[in-house]
Amino acid sequence: MTTFKELRISDSVCETLRYKGIKEATPVQEASIPLVRAGRDVIVQAQTGTGKTLAFLLPIFEKIKPQAEVAQALVVTPTRELAIQIAKVAQLVGEACGVSSLVIYGGQDIERQKQKLRRHPQLIIGTPGRLLDHLRRQTIDLSKVNKVVLDEADEMMHLGFIEDVEVLLKASAADRQLMLFSATMPDRIKALSAQYMHAPENVQIKSDNVTLDSIQQVVIDSSEDTKIDKLCECINSDNPYLAMVFCHTKQRTHMVTMALASRGYLVDELHGDLSQVQRALVLKRFRKAELQILCATDIAARGLDIEGVTHVFNYDIPHDAESYIHRIGRTGRAGQEGKAVTFVNARQYELLRRIEAGIKSRIKKANSERHQQHKEKQEKILKDIRAKEQAKRNSKGKAKAKPLSKYAHGKAAAHKGRNERSRRVKTHNKSNATHRSKMGKH
């Protein structure tokens, strides 16, 4: 592996990264940092958990001029959680470089954001909607921004932010350097790159197992009636340190949260209906392990890097392989091991096969603890029956010779019925004597 020192990262930044336990560059960082430093437009395709954040932040901080009090770089993300996650890394590295940064997203007090923007942060991180809001209010100036990053670009396309992104790009400097970081490459992203990028360099980090090697993946058969019971069985048997349970909708998330809470688990929910303050509080409690289980929609599938997540449960099976990868990527991070459990009913196996094709791997089928106990009990009963049948067959094979008389096995039958003085002979003689006596009387 290549060290950050070999990538010509400054000593102060290397020391900061070492303090956080980051000593070697990941493949995406090793491939991207030299290209971004050289000022090239890049399209980086890599899966979640590969270290993309540092891949663009480190060379960008090198290019920012700390003495210039204008916004020089912009990072656009699809969700608040991802924006906050990037902002934490940016603050850490920025302190070592003397560069100021600001994160803005919906749900915050916009007047406070205006005040912070007047301090002229050099790096701005935000979501498309709130960035566009400030642009229309003329409270943000992007005209000097010559480095733009679209992180999780495929998700922005999926959420319908493409038009907002185009407005932001047009408001930035004409000689901007554009960097797209994405897990997949939909046609809309290819069209965007053709329109706004100049001879982009393509970086694709390939992995046959899509960076899921450290995650144990299993599938459990279930029905809607038994799913919550099987989820509880898995939690009780595995006893995860921190676990995330993913559902399709806000209503399902709330339902599962209430069901787990009623059974005594430390659980809370995370979805789009919560205010930003509520979401931040839930995540804070989860990070501090005050909660054991976090039930969430796919809003938590990207950008959340929470240390200690040992298990991910797909209460509702994801719609595609990409969503599956992002969900289970919340565990098994930074070289740690994790486990991902997906509940599937009889009508969802076609969807499961498509996910397996997308990750280029078959997912092992497992049974819940109760099903396993029942199976073991049935196997024991069957084993006992087979043992008895075998013993019966063995006893028939060793059958003894048929005795000469029905008295042969009596207590006094040492003669085996062959002695003329046996009980049989005496009884016969006595019978004959009685008969002759009766005949004499006549």
| Domain CATH number, residue 94 | 3.40.50.300
Q: Is the torsion defined by CA of 26, 30, 31, 34 positive or negative? A: positive
Is the residue at 435 inside a domain? no
Is the residue at 2 inside a domain? no
Pair 209, 321: CB distance under 8 Å? no
Residue ending a domain, among 174, 204, 234, is 204
Q: Could you tell me which residues come within 8 angstroms of residue 110 by beta carbon, excluding any fewer than 6 positions away?
A: 130, 133, 134
Q: What is the pLDDT of residue 374?
A: 65
Residues 304 and 326: their CA atoms lie apart, in Å, by: 10
Same domain, 192 and 220: no
Same domain, 53 and 150: yes
Is the residue at 319 inside a domain? yes
Same domain, 423 and 354: no
Specify the residue for token string 């004959």. 432
Same domain, 247 and 183: no
CA distances from 337 to 240, 329, 416 (A): 12, 11, 76
Same domain, 238 and 190: no
Is the residue at 436 inside a domain? no
Domain of residue 102: give its range. Answer: 11-204
Same domain, 149 and 198: yes
Is the residue at 54 inside a domain? yes
Same domain, 227 and 339: yes
Q: What is the pLDDT of residue 391?
A: 82
Is the residue at 335 inside a domain? yes
Please give the tally of structural domains in the chain.
3
Same domain, 193 and 249: no
Q: What is the pLDDT of residue 126?
A: 94
Residues 257 and 250: their CA atoms lie apart, in Å, by: 10
Q: What is the pLDDT of residue 440?
A: 55
Is the residue at 420 inside a domain? yes
Same domain, 50 and 191: yes
Same domain, 287 and 184: no
pLDDT one-digit tens code per residue, 64-101:
998 888 999 999 998 888 898 899 999 989 888 889 99
Residue ending a domain, among 147, 176, 204, is 204
Write down the pTM of the prediction: 0.64
Nearest Cα neighbor of 259 from 272, 275, 271, 247 is: 247
Residue ending a domain, among 171, 204, 237, is 204
Same domain, 137 and 236: no
Q: Which long-range contacts (CB under 8 A, 24 or more apart) does 2-6 make?
A: 2/30, 4/58
3-state DSSP of 291-307: CCEEEECHHHCCCCCCC
Q: What is the pLDDT of residue 144?
A: 92
Residues 412 and 426: their CA atoms lie apart, in Å, by: 14
Same domain, 347 and 405: no
Is the residue at 389 inside a domain? no
Residue numbers of the chain with a pLDDT score lower than 50 = 208-210, 416, 422, 425
